[in-house]
Amino acid sequence: MVIWPKTVARGDSDWDGVCAILRVLALDPRSPRQNKAGWYASPGFYASADDLLERPMIVVDRKQQPAPYYSYSLRFNVSASVHGQIPIGDTAQLAEFRRAVNASLQGPLTDAERKRWDADAEFRRRKAAQDPTAESFAIIAQQEAEKAELHYTQIRNSIQGDHAAVLAGLIDLGASLGQGN
């Protein structure tokens, strides 16, 4: 599922749907990094919404220049993503983007997933070095995975149906969790 909101503003139905999904699915905070050989090294993590905003280069009159907008791509731990653009000078849209995305990045589900990835990566590093403490990181990774799985199981049990029904169910569930915010 891919969502392309036209504007990043409360009251826009697509953006409201994105905010609802941000409440029920873990935002994938992994930031791929390239090493010198061009291959992707172990990922770092996005710390804030600003890390997800990119200002691409565009060609105008055969010259490259920074685009008059930020682009963003939000990925989730399922087959879902959100893509869009925000004009550089639109402070209201930028503020709303930061509010919603930072809340998700700091939420308990995304935090559990991040801790799981961290512990799993540390386990692999220590196991390769034959460090006897490696198993303790495997246990941490398992505990964090169980926290996330419990959340996903609750969601899966409350939503049944085809692709469109699941998307609608996620949005409804997220919207009900967000009432009062």
Tell me the pLDDT tens digit for each residue of 71-124.
Answer: 999 998 777 899 999 999 999 999 999 999 999 999 888 888 889 988 998 899
Angle of helix 108-128 versus helix 134-158 axis, rounded to 10 = 150
Give CA–CA dist 85/141, Å, rounded: 35
Percent of the chain surpassing pLDDT 70: 90
Q: What is the pLDDT of residue 77?
A: 75
Mean pLDDT score across all residues of the chain:
86
Residue of 53, 57, 89, 59 lying closest to 71 (CA atoms): 53
- Strand-pairing partners, residue 60, are 63
Give CA–CA dist 145/131, Å, rounded: 23
The model's pTM: 0.80
Q: What is the pLDDT of residue 101?
A: 96
Q: Is the separation of the CB atoms in 120 and 137 below 8 Å?
A: yes
CB neighbours of 40 closer than 8 A, spacing ≥ 6? 32, 33, 34
Res. 163 pLDDT band, cuts 50 70 90: low
Higher pLDDT, 20 or 157: 20
Q: What is the pLDDT of residue 175?
A: 80
Q: What is the pLDDT of residue 42?
A: 56
